[in-house]
Structure 1
Amino acid sequence: MPFIKSKVSVPISKEQEKEIKTKMGKAIELVPGKSEHYLLLEFEDNCRLWLRGKQDDPIVYIEAAIFGNEPHYGYDAFTAELTRIFSEALQTMPDNIYVKFEDITAWGVGDMYIDRNQYR
């Protein structure tokens, strides 16, 4: 049950959003046990982001909240793929893309509640 939220400093067209969404649906499979089936995405464009004291180039900030992967398996490959996806889609320099991971140990979905601790 990953939730990936992205904030970018430039506009994202509907076509770019769909392209990024499709590629992220495949990229999440780099994290063991994760798939697009439960993937929730949020895109926020035209954000007022500053990096290194400047706003000249496109900037991307991504938060990825992932359930049940405290050992962080696949995060290196997933970060590299997210960087490639956003860099290509938005013509962003890779060093202007930052990814924050959040470990989720309990998550509710509709009428289902999952607590990772019950599996230990």
Structure 2
Amino acid sequence: MIDFHDQVNLYLKGDNRDSMAYLRIAVFGNPTHQGYAELSHVVTQLISQILHISPQHIYIQYEDIPSWAVAGMFFESNIC
């Protein structure tokens, strides 16, 4: 799932002259963050190419999801 918010004012050090992107990526069952570096690289390249935003202005926040539910079904990570 992807949720886009266009025309949002993002400021870096009080400046909003450059285009910026802030992404929040939630990942289920990966507490060791395996693959995050590679994913960050690929996502940054894609956002830069598609939206023409400098990689220096693309920020990614990761969120660890230990449990998840969909369609009434509950899933919990067994990874400790």
Letter of the 2:20 partner, please give it.
I
Residues 1:57 and 2:13 are matched in the alignment? no
Q: 1:94 aligns with which of 40, 55, 58?
A: 55
Instruction: Show the counterpart of 2:66.
Output: 105
The runs of 5 or more residues in structure 1 that have no matched partner are: 1-39
The TM-score with structure 2 as length reference comes to 0.92
Where is the helix percentage greater, Structure 1 or Structure 2?
1
The TM-score with structure 1 as length reference comes to 0.63
Instruction: After TM superposition, give the deviation of residue 105 of structure 1 in Å.
Output: 0.3
Percent identity (aligned): 34
Tell me the number of residue pairs that the alignment of Structure 1 and Structure 2 aligns: 80
Moved over 6 A (4+): none
Larger RCO: Structure 1 or Structure 2 (Cα < 8 Å, ≥ 6 residues apart)? 2
Determine the C-alpha separation between the residues in 1 that align with 2:49 and 2:18.
Answer: 14
Q: What is the root-mean-square deviation in Å for CA atoms of aligned residues?
A: 1.3
- Asked if the contact 1:58–1:90 (Cα under 8 Å) also holds between the matched residues in 2, the reply is no
